Amino acid sequence: MIIDWSISHSDSHLTGGMTYREGKLTVPRDGKYYVYAQLYFRSPGRVLLLVNDNTITFLQLSITGEPDGPRNAFGVFYLEAGDIISLSLSDDIISPSGTAEFWFNNYHAYFGAFLI
């Protein structure tokens, strides 16, 4: 799981009762949520967008198949109060060195959800 999100950065915010802990967002109430994520990485493979540890969609290689670049995923999902949203690495994203490589700053990486 990806847990290094900074909620103290000036571009980060929690509103509407959404809570954050150890890389996970907890949904405050039932409803339709727009869920989104972007990472900029140098590893092939996918990053999974999860609700309650179940994959709902994923960030995947670009259409050209190049491993470098931004990957994003988003969608509208009905979520219930207490549902947990997180990102996780798929088994196929690990580089030959044994790690996934990301540019992890507010311009390249974000993750969130809001009630619509």
9 inside domain: no
With respect to residue 3, please indicate whether it lies within any of the assigned structural domains. no
- Tokens encoding 94: 């690990």
What does the pLDDT look like over 64-106, one tens digit per residue?
A: 666 677 778 888 999 999 999 998 877 665 555 656 666 666 6
10 falls within a domain? no
CATH number for position 70: 2.60.120.40
Q: What would the mean pLDDT of 35-48 be, rounded to a whole number?
A: 77
The helix/strand/coil state of 91 is helix
Cβ neighbours of residue 101 closer than 8 Å, sequence gap 6 or more: 41, 42, 43, 95
How much of the chain, in percent, has pLDDT values that exceed 70? 65
pLDDT digits (tens, 9 = 90+) for 53-71: 998 887 765 556 666 777 7
Closest CA to 38 of 2, 77, 80, 81: 2
Q: What is the pTM of this model?
A: 0.78
Q: What confidence score (pLDDT) does residue 93 get?
A: 58
Q: Please give the tally of structural domains in the chain.
A: 1
- Residue 100 falls inside a structural domain: yes
Question: Could you tell me if residue 8 is inside a domain?
Answer: no
pLDDT of residue 83: 97
Q: What type of residue sits at position 20? A: Y
